[in-house]
Structure 1
Amino acid sequence: MPRFAANLSMMYTEHDFLDRFAAASADGFGAVEYLFPYAYDATGLRRLLDGHGLRQVLFNAPPGAWESGERGIAALPGREAEVRSGIERALEYAAALDCPRVHVMAGLVRPDATPKELAEHRDTYLANLAWAAERAAAVGVDVLVEPINGRDMPGYFLSRQAEAHAVVRDVGAANLKVQLDLYHCQIVEGDLTTTLRRDLPTGRVGHLQIAGVPDRHEPDRGEIDVSHLFGVVDELGFDGWIGCEYVPHAGTSEGLGWLHDYRGDSA
């Protein structure tokens, strides 16, 4: 049966961030993910995880100047030193939190980038990911790349599953994997059942995420048949986590009927 992790950057925002761990645990989650841990002391975060019986399963490496609109820097030529510094910092947190995977964001590219410039972006991305994967392998951590839809994040370098899998194959590191967000995938290319059946057996998918389409609310709101997809994931024997990276429509706990229904428990 799929295992679910609460995304504390999007869920439980009715609570202060540090209070979201307790709220997620109270609702029966066994794991959490979120965007970034760096505003908080790693020891304090670990204490919250342990105190509430939670596992940390994912967070992002430093993304550059997030508040100024940057969305990663790994594919940006000239930022290599910053990428490496950020990876080192992420791995320090991963060790402290016993987190087995870190997502490295590629970054935004200009819509008028030439084929030569796009090739330079890709070469930079591959080199940075190879370095990151080597460093992460030494401490037992997977590095993830994620295709993101261009409606929510215009200009993001990576948008399609085939592109992400090609990057993973070209780098050739066993601990470099794809973060398959079914919300982004549905918006960009759809055909989710075929995508799962094609890609999960390859071993290149390290993490799943889910949200309703088109509004990114609970996964059972909108056009996705989430129960069917969970069944496919179960059928394929995926033993990783599904991150619930969605914005609750009206209260996080109140919107967990989809999870209670799937587990067969009562809300």
Structure 2
Amino acid sequence: MNPIEIRTVDVVQYITPLREGGSMPGLVRADDDFLYVLKFTGAGQGKKALIAEFLGGELARLLGLKVPELVFMNLDDTFSKTEPDEEIQDLLQFSVGLNLGLHFLSGAITYDPLVSDVDSKTASKIVLLDSLMSNIDRTAKNTNLLEWKNELWVIDNGASFYFHHNWETWENHLTRTFPLIKDHVLLPKAKHLDEAAKLIQERFTAEALQNIIAAIPENWLEDEAVSLTPIEMRTAYSTYLKAKLENIDQLVKEAKNAK
């Protein structure tokens, strides 16, 4: 098993907070001179949101969807010492270490279902993927999709895999479908769900999923308040995705009925 290659960069400049999101990510510059949207381990949902963001992004990429490059970002303790805003100061201080960055798409605009268009095959892949990973946050109110260079880009998957917020009951989610798919912003345009299901089954091989899960940083999986070890957590993510793949026909049916 070979984990996927994810670059690691160092934050060299904290530019500004992005207050649109609840977790208040930041726009930063890295030592490769590129700009990134930095998702902090010290934010509200902490490491779990970063894990969901990472898994969701790489699964979307595996499916051939457009996703900004994800990188691991080292943040040192110097930034919190020079930040005047106390809220941001705390966020920077609690996030020292390895965080997650998304390549900043300069000039991108938020996808608007009333004025933007998307082809049915792309919409179907996104809808079924979000059902598969239980993403509760791709609605008309908050699309978490960008238009950049006339293409649709998938961002902000941090609300996915919500079973991991209560590890004691995670196995209860294995046989569940995802009724909240009824609120998905792209559901009305998703007319190729069967085709999307076939593609997911082809590309989401056991090896491909294991390679992505294996790339989750070890310290993101360490939690003294949870009885599961990092190895057991990786196994849980794998088991969850396997169960959803085995139940994909039901997810397709549910999405069709919701339309």
TM-score normalised by structure 2 residue count:
0.27
- Give the structure, 1 or 2, with the largest relative contact order (CA under 8 Å, sep 6 or more): 2
